[in-house]
């Protein structure tokens, strides 16, 4: 089993959070004017959409590399649908376009990435989330 841990801390002087994993950072915040948000970073729904699309972009590259195919342009768009109180993600739609540099049909690469994409395949199965208080 592999485990991945990220850390988040408040950004002094704001109500935003700074998250990091290794040497990579990201700012998380609410839209300006929403519960003290200043619009300094991504909100949860945007991060979820980025996780879905970003993981898929990586898997396109992994799949193409394993097949010995070089990819050119990749365009991925992810829409996350939200509903209810509390607000929940109720679905996500991803549109993918990519081209191969050798002119071959990229459908095989896209289909294989669909089969191996960790985030896109984990969410429909349900991922238990345990929240523990350390104080």
What residue ranges do the domains of the chain occupy? 1-42, 43-126
Q: Which two tokens stand for residue 16?
A: 């935003």
Distance between CA atoms of residues 109 and 71, nearest Å: 10
Binned at pLDDT 50, 70 and 90, residue 135 comes out as confident
Those residues whose C-beta lies under 8 Å from the C-beta of residue 5, and which sit 6 or more positions away, are 21
Identify whether 101 is preceded by a cis peptide bond (ω within 30 of 0).
Answer: no
**pLDDT, tens digit (0-9, with 9 covering 90-100), for 70-110:** 999 999 999 999 999 999 999 999 999 999 999 999 999 99
Q: Does the pLDDT value for residue 67 go beyond 90?
A: yes
Q: Can you give the pTM of this predicted structure?
A: 0.93
CATH number 2.40.160.20 is the correct assignment for the domain at 43-126:
no
Distance between CA atoms of residues 1 and 62, nearest Å: 20
Identify whether 86 is preceded by a cis peptide bond (ω within 30 of 0).
Answer: yes
What is the reported pLDDT for 12?
95
């Amino acid at each position: 089993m592999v485990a991945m841990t990220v850390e988040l801390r408040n950004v002094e002087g704001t109500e935003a959070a700074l998250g990091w994993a290794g040497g990579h950072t990201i700012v998380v915040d609410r839209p300006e004017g929403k519960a003290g948000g200043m619009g300094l970073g991504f909100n949860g729904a945007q991060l979820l959409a980025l996780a879905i699309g970003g993981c898929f972009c990586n898997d396109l590259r992994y799949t193409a590399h394993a097949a010995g195919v070089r990819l050119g342009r990749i365009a991925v768009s992810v829409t996350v649908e939200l509903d209810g109180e509390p607000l929940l993600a109720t679905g996500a739609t991803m549109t993918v376009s990519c081209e191969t540099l050798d002119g071959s049909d990229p459908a095989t690469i896209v289909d294989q990435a669909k089969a191996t994409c960790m985030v896109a395949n984990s969410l429909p199965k349900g991922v238990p989330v345990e929240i523990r208080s350390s104080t």
